[in-house]
Structures are given as structure tokens and as C-alpha cells.
């Protein structure tokens, strides 16, 4: 298993995502506490205040592209901050 695969597996497990059908924009954002906003703007994520994350997804895009944008914007560092210390430790290990 690669470091990225291990990180994702642990992040999903920490967030209570154990079944493939749970890997949706809505479920991931809920479990990782990311506020979603669908607007006619380019997709982007931001940390509004420390520990408070929002993501804008372009509502003009088809759902498949929105999902790709969501997964692209959901950076490992953001997911780590939303999950427990174990997942954060794995991310730190991967960076070193």
C-alpha cells in the first residue's frame, strides 16, 4: 500500500466511511466538516477561519466534474486537520 493509499484509508476510517457508497461529495464533506456551496463560480476551497473550511463547487458543471473538482480541492492537509491525530501523523510521516 502506498503512503497516499494508507492516508486515505485511515482518513476514511477515522471519518466513519467504511463502504464505497459513502464516498460521495455530501458524505465526505459532512464527515470532514467542510461546508459546501454550489455557485456559478470556479471550484475552490478555503479555510474561512482556523479549522473552518468551505468549498465552492461550480454548479454549472456536470456532477462527474463536480466530484472531480471536490476531490481535487480536498487536499490531504485539509482532511488531516479534520480527522484525528492518527491520520495527521500519517500525513506528517508522508511529508518527511
Q: Would you give the DSSP letter of residue 33?
A: T
Please answer whether residues 53 and 34 qualify as being in contact, where contact means their C-beta atoms are separated by less than 8 angstroms. Answer: yes
pLDDT recorded at residue 78: 55
- What mean pLDDT comes out for the span 9-24? 84
Q: What is the pLDDT of residues 61-78, one digit of tens each?
A: 999 999 999 988 886 555
Alpha-carbon span 70 to 7, nearest angstrom:
18
The domain that contains 39 carries what CATH number?
1.10.10
Over range 3-26, report the average pLDDT.
85
Identify the helix (H) or strand (E) that includes residue 36. strand 34-39
Q: Name the grid cell of 8.
A: 486515505
**Domain total of the chain:** 1
Write down the H helix ranges in 1-96: 3-14, 25-31, 63-73, 76-82, 85-95
Q: Are strands 44-49 and 52-58 parallel, antiparallel or unpaired?
A: antiparallel
Q: Supply the range of the domain harboring residue 18.
A: 3-95
Amino acid at each position: 500500500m502506498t503512503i497516499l493509499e494508507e492516508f486515505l484509508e485511515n482518513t476514511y476510517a477515522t471519518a466513519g466511511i467504511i463502504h464505497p457508497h459513502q464516498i460521495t461529495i455530501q458524505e465526505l464533506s459532512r464527515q470532514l466538516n467542510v461546508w459546501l456551496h454550489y455557485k456559478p463560480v470556479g471550484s475552490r476551497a478555503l479555510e474561512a477561519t482556523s479549522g473552518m473550511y468551505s468549498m465552492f463547487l461550480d454548479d454549472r458543471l456536470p456532477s462527474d466534474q463536480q466530484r472531480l473538482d471536490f476531490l481535487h480541492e480536498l487536499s490531504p492537509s485539509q482532511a488531516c486537520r479534520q480527522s484525528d491525530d492518527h491520520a495527521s501523523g500519517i500525513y506528517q510521516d508522508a511529508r518527511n
